[in-house]
């Protein structure tokens, strides 16, 4: 039996692993995808203290290297449920079943979509939620970015370096992202901002995006559409535990405890004010410190 199983190997989960290992807890990390989580979707991180303009994928690789260096056990499996039997947590994956005294949920979020016709069909064929992963496919082409937060602004700046033109489609009349990013976007020649619009329709040609129609009647001939309209928590597999709020985020107290003893949650999967790399790492340190205190 493990002292601690951490579900998710984004910066939150890996930080928890590092601190647990160093506190001599018998810990296992589990992830269903690429270690580093959301970092793999970020072109450049410029606001993490001590790291000057690091590529998201390099940051993610460094985290995995640290896991290997510290010999922290990890598995690439998908967690499908967590059950509680007396004091024991049973973590079931698509391959195995594990037991632990404590569990930290660090499963992050997934992108939201507009919900328009053809959207899911055209995912990977013109529609994307990751400029870092797919931007290069649109070299010298025109693309649209939908959104008004920091992610939309940051990834538009990246796309502007590759693409011929980037339209940013904002349904409001102002941006809600970082002011510095907004300023940079406004000073970038090949970015055009279109305010108070929604995408009404995606049109395809030969199975790929050809143009989009906006609700102001405008038609934009774009080869790619990048959607940054927010995120929803990866918590479907925890529905039965009764630890989620009405929006699907895990509810925790100031010690990152859920209402079940020994089950904690950290990072983007919890309801909080600031969703950043540094805050996910911070959550992890507090949660592990609490587990260490209780288990000593
Ligand atoms: C485009 C974009 C740009 C951003 N830029 C910045 C920035 O410049 N600076 C900054 O500080 N923050 C930035 N952020 C926010 C930052 O990326 C997140 O706050 C942070 O990565 C959250 O970390 P996390 O560990 O909570 O979750 P994640 O990084 O999302 O990791 C969650 C992990 O859980 C795994 N997982 C999910 N479900 C399961 C399951 N069932 N079984 C097993 N594993 C599972 C996933 O595969 C994933 O690896 C950005 C976000 C986006 C989307």
- Cβ(30) to ligand 1 under 6 A? yes
Which of 277, 278, 288, when mutated, tests ligand 1's pocket best, judged by the most ligand atoms within 8 Å of its CB?
Answer: 277
DSSP secondary structure, the chain, as one string: -EEEEEE--SHHHHHHHHHHHHTT--EEEEESS-TTGGGGG-SEE--STT--SEEHHHHHHHHHHHHHHTT--EEE--EEEEEEETTEEEEEESS-EEEEEEEEE---EEE-----TTTTTTBTTTEES-HHHHGGGGTTSEEEEE--SHHHHHHHHHHHHHSSEEEEEESSSS--S-HHHHHHHHT-TTEEEEES--EEEEEEETTEEEEEEETTS-EE--SEEEE-S-EEES-GGGGGGT-B-TTSPBP--TTSB-SSTTEEE-GGGB--S---HHHHHHHHHHHHHHHHHHH-
Which of 57, 108, 109, when mutated, tests ligand 1's pocket best, judged by the most ligand atoms within 8 Å of its CB?
Answer: 108
Question: pLDDT per residue over 17-34, tens digit each?
Answer: 999 999 999 999 999 999
> What is the band of 177 on the pLDDT scale with cuts at 50, 70, 90?
very high
Average pLDDT, the chain: 96
Beta carbons of 6 and 89 less than 8 angstroms apart = no
Asked if 2-110+231-295 and 113-227 have one fold, the answer is yes
Whole-angstrom distance, CA of residue 194 vs CA of residue 12: 35
Residue nearest to atom 48 of ligand 1 (CA): 37
The mean per-residue pLDDT over the stretch 262-272 comes to 97
Question: pLDDT per residue over 212-221, tens digit each?
Answer: 999 999 999 9
What local confidence, expressed as pLDDT, does residue 296 receive?
62
Question: pLDDT per residue over 202-240, tens digit each?
Answer: 999 999 999 999 999 999 999 999 999 999 999 999 999
- Cβ(43) to ligand 1 under 6 A? no
> What is the band of 92 on the pLDDT scale with cuts at 50, 70, 90?
very high
The mean per-residue pLDDT over the stretch 164-192 comes to 97
Residue nearest to atom 14 of ligand 1 (CA): 276
Residue 117's Cα: distance from chain center in Å?
A: 24
The mean per-residue pLDDT over the stretch 162-177 comes to 97
What local confidence, expressed as pLDDT, does residue 295 receive?
65
C-alpha of residue 232 to centroid of ligand 1, in Å:
11
State how far the alpha carbon of 179 is from the alpha carbons of 174, 184, 186, 226, in Å: 11, 9, 11, 21
Q: Which fold has domain 113-227?
A: FAD/NAD(P)-binding domain (3.50.50)
Does 243 have pLDDT greater than 80?
yes
More confident residue, 42 or 5: 5
Q: Which fold has domain 2-110+231-295?
A: FAD/NAD(P)-binding domain (3.50.50)
Whole-angstrom distance, CA of residue 213 vs CA of residue 164: 20
What local confidence, expressed as pLDDT, does residue 158 receive?
95
Whole-angstrom distance, CA of residue 16 vs CA of residue 27: 9
> What is the band of 118 on the pLDDT scale with cuts at 50, 70, 90?
very high
Q: Hey, where are the domains in the chain?
A: 2-110+231-295, 113-227
Q: What is the position in ligand 1's atom list of the atom closest to the CA of 131?
A: 1
Does 285 have pLDDT greater than 70?
yes
């Amino acid at each position: 039996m493990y002292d601690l199983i951490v579900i998710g190997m984004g910066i939150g989960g890996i930080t928890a692993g590092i601190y647990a290992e160093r506190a001599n807890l018998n810990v296992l990390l589990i992830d269903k995808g690429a270690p580093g989580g959301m970092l793999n979707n970020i072109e450049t991180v410029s606001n993490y203290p001590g790291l000057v303009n690091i590529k998201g994928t390099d940051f993610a690789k460094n985290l995995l290297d640290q896991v290997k260096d510290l010999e922290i056990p990890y598995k690439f499996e998908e967690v499908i449920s967590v059950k509680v039997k007396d004091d024991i947590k049973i973590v079931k994956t698509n391959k195995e079943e594990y037991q632990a005294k404590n569990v930290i949920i660090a499963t992050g979020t997934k992108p939201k979509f507009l919900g328009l016709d053809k959207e899911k069909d055209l995912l990977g064929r013109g529609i994307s939620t990751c400029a870092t992963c797919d931007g290069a496919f649109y070299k010298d082409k025109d693309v649209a970015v939908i959104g008004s937060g920091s992610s939309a602004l940051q990834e538009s700046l990246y796309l502007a370096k590759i693409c011929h033109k980037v339209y940013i489609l904002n349904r409001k009349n102002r941006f809600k992202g970082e002011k510095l990013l907004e300023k940079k976007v406004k000073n970038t020649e090949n970015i055009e901002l279109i305010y108070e619009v929604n995408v009404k329709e995606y049109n395809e040609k030969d199975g790929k995006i050809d143009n989009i129609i906006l609700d102001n009647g405008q038609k934009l001939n774009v080869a790619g559409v990048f959607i940054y309209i927010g995120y929803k928590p990866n918590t479907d597999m925890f529905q039965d535990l009764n630890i989620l709020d009405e929006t699907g985020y895990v509810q925790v107290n100031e010690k990152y405890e859920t209402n079940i003893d020994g089950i904690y949650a950290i990072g983007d999967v919890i309801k909080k004010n600031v969703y950043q790399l540094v805050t996910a790492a911070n959550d992890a340190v507090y949660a592990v410190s609490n587990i260490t205190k209780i288990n000593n």
